Structure 1
Amino acid sequence: MRQPTLATKLLSLASLAAVTQAELGKIHWRGLCNLTNATDMSASGSMICGTLDVPLDYTDSSSNKTLTLDIAKWPATKQPVAEPIIFNFGGPGENSFEGLGLYGEEFQAILGGHNDLIAFNPRGVGNTLPFSCYSDSVSRELASLQAPSDGRASDTALGEIWAQSANIAQACYALNNQTGSLMGTSFAARDTMQVVDALQGKDGLLNFWAISYGTTVGAVIAAMFPERMGFVALDGIDNPAEVLHGYNPQKVVDVDKVLEGFCTGCMAAPDLCPLANYYNNAAELEAAIYIMLDTLKFNPIAIPEIGGVVTYSDVKSTIYEALYLPSSWPLTSELILYVQARNTTVLGISSVYEQLKSYGESASLTSSAKEAGTGVTCSDKARTATMEELLPYIRISEALSKIASDNANGDMTCAQWNKKMYAKERYTGDFNVKTANPVLILSNTFDPITPLAAAKNLTATFEGSVLLEQNGYGHTTLSMPSLCTAKAIRAYFNNGTLPANGTICQTDVPLFTTLTYEDVWPKNFQRSVGSVDDTNALKALMSIREKMSRRRN
């Protein structure tokens, strides 16, 4: 996507016009989407696109300025058509059109096909109040190279990250000072309810499936509008109180356990994990990975052929990101082997080197989506801090995980955020609420960024809610196929049936596998399949796994 210039952004804001009361709150469906003009993915023939005008500033009741949300629908495939389900794909900064376009067919198969699936781009994404801190890719790349991605990279790393974060915060303010305060989770919550009103009327209930940061949006919606909650499924709990008000170092509490799972899975599948041939057990392999990283601190790998350098931050960040998605683990094991061997031929391949650098650069400024995410996160936090005030939280993160990021660059950017871009509305209440219908909360046992403990905490505060634990690894339950989980989600959205308290679903493929749907079904399937819908759901789960892996690699 071409990034908007400052001039076009200001022009867009200036052209926001008042609409008649009859038009406000009405979705204008245009027809089949032409996504080649909206995202970097190929167009999907089944998705319908439209627009919805919502208030620009919910805190200013005297203003009649509006903002146009881009909205998409993946129509139901079966009759009768039930109430729509709204999706939030996380981020913040994720393009919802891309998420629904990629996985709409699979979600219909999982849910049974009787619901229209709805998504809209949140503020800061796509054409909806665009947020970008750099006007061109060269400036973005230059900014990202000024510091490492982790404060443990060297004795001077934290100071470098602090200085770089000041530059990033200023760059974001320079291009977004007129609109930055109009983002944030509370406005995202209100925009979501505007979509519900437009779809179902002012008394309609929200049916919502959210993942990762989307669970924070969902939690805020439930706290602000508890009487309007229909069936709400939150997968991968982002610890909303800490996301909005704190620094959340506990989010990395299970990361090293996920790495242990990587090593255990590797040793169990030597044909798919070449590292297994060099160690006697998983503990040896895990220790070798940490030794490799410590070596890279003082001996980075020169790539003379391209004039590049592979650093501690590059490799550590790439491994950490891979822990989100077990389907990427076979390739990750190969990468680790090449790094251990200091194989400059492979590491110098442009696609390999670029991926390493995309995770290793401290700001991770690979696209404006990252900047939009920063805009939402920092505007929500709305609190300045000195480096000394942040250090205790950074040290907690470091103590909790050796492989995870210490999040210094994110926290330090927010600590230096311009006050004029603090979100105009921020939810400051708690999450001790009783919703009109109980919430379904989902979590993997071992998640590298939204730990099971956060899911348990939120379940305890939402009265009547139930936690479904999936005995798997990776970020959100979608990272590993489980028909048990899919059937529970379908039953919940179809008729409100919740799993029993304490339910733990098993996954249906090993951690290291090249199995496809055809391999798994039917001869190798671990549990019984009771219907055609189950068969379709399993096929959809395997497809999601494959697509997620393809996007990452």
Structure 2
Amino acid sequence: MNIPWRNLIREHGCSHHKTGLQTYVGEKITWEACGDVKGRPVECSNMTVPMDQFNATNSGDKVFTIPLIRMRGKSATQNLLLNPGGPGGSGIEFLFRRGEQLSTIVGEGFHLLSLTLGVNNSTPSATCYPDKDTRRSLSQVRYQRVIEDSPEAYAFAKNFVQACAYTMGEHGLYINTPQTAADMNSILDAVDLRWSFPERSRRVIIDGVVNQFDWYNELANEEDFSDTVHVFEGLFDQCLKAGENCTLSTFAKSKDELMNKVLEFANSIYDEPLSVYVNNTVWGTLDYFKIMYSAVFPALYKPANWYDLADRLAKLLEGNATEGFLAYGKGDPWGMYFDANYFVTMNDGKSGPKFWPLDRVTALKEIIEPVLNPSLFAPSSNGGFYVKQHWTVPKTHNYVPKLGVKTAHPLLILSTTYDPICPLVSARSANKAFADSQIVEVKGYGHCSMAVASACIAKHVRGFLYNGTVPKSYTQCEVDGPYFIKPEQDEKTLTALREFDDPKDMKIHMAQLELARDPDWPLWSRW
């Protein structure tokens, strides 16, 4: 949504009126009341940072404007800065939507401070199109068939990268991870927290991480999809364990048989899509790519969506495609309406003719064997490789990942056992990169630890934030409860997956469930 936060406040039904500007001792920015979240006051601000944080000459008078939002903790004396990821997620929208649950999990000892970089009313927004209509008319390109669609994806990318460079102008050079880290450092300085860069960092938690050595140093991140099929297999394994709670379970007696039935159906409509007619305004087709990349792949991020996915797949196997079409037949399943992800990815890594061959066939050979062939779902990112090949924005950072980086306090690294896009092996690479850091693994499926409910991991997070407690060794946490449960009659009511003696623990558990069932997060995280 490319709307200012005042409009976003109205959209969320917030009732607080402007009460004047507010400043706090030790801070360098001014805040304005901007609504509430379930009765909790929220305040907003904007701050400007140099276009180039590392070279004032390059910046001149050019700046980026970063919107900030904060939910104040009732007994807080310090801020917890939340970066929603993506790249390209809106921290403002996220806090309005799930600030209540985050506050419950973290506790009242922290103000929750978040930001928006490159999207919404962050200016200038990271986009390759001048407006939404242009995006709709020009962004339709086929890329899913790795070989067959290669000429079209290659030709599109040549034009797309020119549009990106032209639309963003000089600002486009400075949308990258090192600049973002410096922006976050400026925010922390403004609220009198100086803990961002390694030698100043305290209480840093990273969750669902990419292998930074591959991100910066390789043409493609071969690790990204290494666990995706394991999550896919887990979907069917948990379905069979759920029995009658998973309608798809009646189609097979083993997870392999069940998975093969779904794959056989998807393959059967690879060349001849299903025609689906609902009425004269709602009709279209379902094909392999909509089933695998718009339905299955996004659901792997969020096990809370598995029940509905399995139910729709069951209907498809029975010959009823209507619900599947209505759910997956149109639209962008990732909700990425800006191009911050492209700019950060391309500006960080090995992009452009310096690193890539100029012709299509040679470039295709570079990626097809090591990246696209080994994984069932990797072709969903196929189009991005041609963008990386043709990228014209000059690189402006000189960041080189290192091993054993000393930080002011050890980092806490969170991961699920099977993450569909940020695998556990990437968390292990971060563990090697930061001295004395430690991993807490949730023994489950999904993207980021908040994809599932786990009282164990909540206690580790609180212990780390309040006391600086880092586990002495690699730690594993169990998931609380099953993956498949029947939806409640009242969608606003959640059923606890387990019972807790302490009411506070039960409250945290319910907040985790609400986060896990959020329809929009963390789908856009790291995609």
Tell me the TM-score normalised to structure 2 length.
0.85
Deviates more, 1:265-274 or 1:252-261: 265-274
Q: Secondary structure at the match of 2:402?
A: coil
Asked whether the 8 Å contact 2:246–2:484 carries over to 1, the reply is: yes
Equivalent of 1:182 in 164, 174, 191: 174
Partner Cα distance (1:232, 1:551) in 2: 19
Equivalent of 1:330 in 307, 316, 320: 307
AA matched with 1:31: A
| Correspondence for 2:250 | 277
Deviates more, 1:138-147 or 1:183-192: 138-147
Identity %: 25
In the alignment, structure 1 residue 538 sits paired with structure 2 residue 478: no
| Correspondence for 1:377 | 345
In the alignment, structure 1 residue 157 sits paired with structure 2 residue 130: no
Partner Cα distance (2:86, 2:192) in 1: 26
| Correspondence for 1:461 | 433
Partner Cα distance (2:2, 2:520) in 1: 26
Q: Secondary structure at the match of 2:204?
A: strand
Partner Cα distance (1:423, 1:311) in 2: 39
Asked whether the 8 Å contact 2:269–2:287 carries over to 1, the reply is: yes
Partner Cα distance (1:549, 1:177) in 2: 31
Cα deviation for residue 93 of structure 1 reads: 0.8
Compared CA separation, residues 390 and 229, structure 1 to 2 (3 A)? farther
Cα deviation for residue 231 of structure 1 reads: 0.5
| Correspondence for 2:88 | 93
AA matched with 1:482: S
AA matched with 1:98: E
Q: Secondary structure at the match of 1:294?
A: helix
Partner Cα distance (1:518, 1:302) in 2: 37
Cα deviation for residue 518 of structure 1 reads: 5.9
| Correspondence for 2:15 | none
Partner Cα distance (2:284, 2:398) in 1: 44
Compared CA separation, residues 43 and 243, structure 1 to 2 (3 A)? farther
Q: Secondary structure at the match of 1:27?
A: coil
| Correspondence for 2:495 | 519
Q: Secondary structure at the match of 2:440?
A: strand
Compared CA separation, residues 291 and 45, structure 1 to 2 (3 A)? same
Partner Cα distance (1:416, 1:46) in 2: 46
Tell me the TM-score normalised to structure 1 length.
0.81
**5+ residue gaps, structure 2:** 5-26
| Correspondence for 2:284 | 308
Compared CA separation, residues 403 and 2, structure 1 to 2 (3 A)? closer
Partner Cα distance (2:94, 2:140) in 1: 29
AA matched with 1:189: A
In the alignment, structure 1 residue 236 sits paired with structure 2 residue 205: no
| Correspondence for 1:21 | none
AA matched with 2:176: G
AA matched with 2:391: W
AA matched with 1:187: Q
* Pairing 1:208-227 to 2, within 5 Å after superposition: 225-227=197-199
Asked whether the 8 Å contact 1:244–1:380 carries over to 2, the reply is: yes
| Correspondence for 1:205 | 195
Cα deviation for residue 245 of structure 1 reads: 2.9
Asked whether the 8 Å contact 1:325–1:479 carries over to 2, the reply is: yes
Compared CA separation, residues 30 and 298, structure 1 to 2 (3 A)? same
| Correspondence for 2:388 | 414
Partner Cα distance (1:403, 1:367) in 2: 19
* Pairing 1:108-507 to 2, within 5 Å after superposition: 108-148=103-143, 150-152=144-146, 155-200=147-192, 204-206=194-196, 225-246=197-218, 247-304=220-277, 306-317=282-293, 318-349=295-326, 351-354=327-330, 357-359=331-333, 367-369=336-338, 371-381=339-349, 383-384=351-352, 385-386=356-357, 387=360, 388-418=362-392, 421-507=393-479
AA matched with 1:60: N
| Correspondence for 1:213 | none
Moved over 4 A (4+): 42-45, 304-307, 515-518, 549-552
Partner Cα distance (2:62, 2:142) in 1: 41
- Alpha-carbon deviations, 1:382-429, whole Å to 9, x = none? 5222332353333223343224445211121121111xx234224224
- Alpha-carbon deviations, 1:531-552, whole Å to 9, x = none? 4432321121112123247997
| Correspondence for 2:65 | 68
Q: Secondary structure at the match of 2:64?
A: strand
RMSD: 2.6
Cα deviation for residue 45 of structure 1 reads: 5.2
Asked whether the 8 Å contact 1:94–1:125 carries over to 2, the reply is: no
Q: Secondary structure at the match of 2:191?
A: helix
Asked whether the 8 Å contact 2:285–2:325 carries over to 1, the reply is: no
- Alpha-carbon deviations, 1:51-70, whole Å to 9, x = none? 22222222432335433221
Q: Secondary structure at the match of 2:122?
A: coil
AA matched with 1:143: L
AA matched with 1:368: Y
Cα deviation for residue 451 of structure 1 reads: 0.4
Partner Cα distance (1:66, 1:44) in 2: 35
| Correspondence for 1:13 | none
Partner Cα distance (1:398, 1:69) in 2: 36
Partner Cα distance (1:33, 1:494) in 2: 28
Partner Cα distance (1:240, 1:282) in 2: 34
Partner Cα distance (2:130, 2:344) in 1: 19
Q: Secondary structure at the match of 1:358?
A: coil
Compared CA separation, residues 550 and 441, structure 1 to 2 (3 A)? closer
Larger helix fraction of residues: 1
Asked whether the 8 Å contact 2:273–2:287 carries over to 1, the reply is: yes
Partner Cα distance (1:26, 1:407) in 2: 42
Q: Secondary structure at the match of 1:177?
A: helix
Deviates more, 1:136-145 or 1:179-188: 136-145
**5+ residue gaps, structure 1:** 5-24, 35-41, 207-224
Q: Secondary structure at the match of 1:231?
A: coil
Asked whether the 8 Å contact 1:143–1:168 carries over to 2, the reply is: no
Asked whether the 8 Å contact 1:380–1:422 carries over to 2, the reply is: no
